[in-house]
Amino acid sequence: MKTATDALHVTVVVGSNRHGRFGPVVAGWLLDRVRARDGLTVDVVDVADLDLPTTMEPTGRATAALADVTPKLDRADAFVVLTPEYNHSFPAGLKNLIDWHFGEWRAKPVALVTYGGLAGGLRAAEHLRQVFAELHAVTVRDTVSFHNAGAAFDDEGRLKDPVGPDTAAKTMLDQLVWWATALREARRRRPYGS
């Protein structure tokens, strides 16, 4: 029988900080899917809530901004990164959050949920795969992508047709849980890089 300590810690990263962003709508749907899974404990990091400087200088401002977020990334067994696509890539605020951390991502899986216009954020996902590979993180193969995201949700933030996205989310989360379990066990037996 599993105990609370067996729960996988998943940190959901909301990667948009643009004024008037659509991210909270997609994040609400995503968090419902993640929280509905047994055996997962969820933290949320929203880049819109962070005041991280871009200088990478460990100032008092940076220390204060990292005080809440770094522990959430560090204790995570896995991540789900939600990002829009801006100009064929992902937002600068998300890149800044990623770059302020290194060891927190290592030997952990990352699932990607994207949204945007016609491309649905898929180009942002491909760029994130390269970044996370450099950080020694493993991105899961399947993603959830919302093409023309604004038209996919009603005024209350509910999907108009949830079948496809819900099915894609289940597949993605199944993969994330498998990788998170396998990598957590591997890190416990032998720390990564040793």
* pLDDT per residue as tens digits for the range 42-79: 999 999 999 999 999 999 999 999 999 999 999 999 99
Q: How far apart are CA 191 and CA 187, in angstroms?
A: 5
Place of tokens 């990352």: 110
Say what the pTM is.
0.95
Q: How far apart are CA 90 and CA 187, in angstroms?
A: 29
* pLDDT per residue as tens digits for the range 97-125: 999 999 999 999 999 999 999 999 999 99
Q: How far apart are CA 160 and CA 61, in angstroms?
A: 42
3-class secondary-structure state, position 110: strand
Residue 69, amino acid: V
Maximum Cα–Cα distance for the chain, whole Å? 51
Question: What integer is the mean pLDDT of 142-161?
Answer: 96
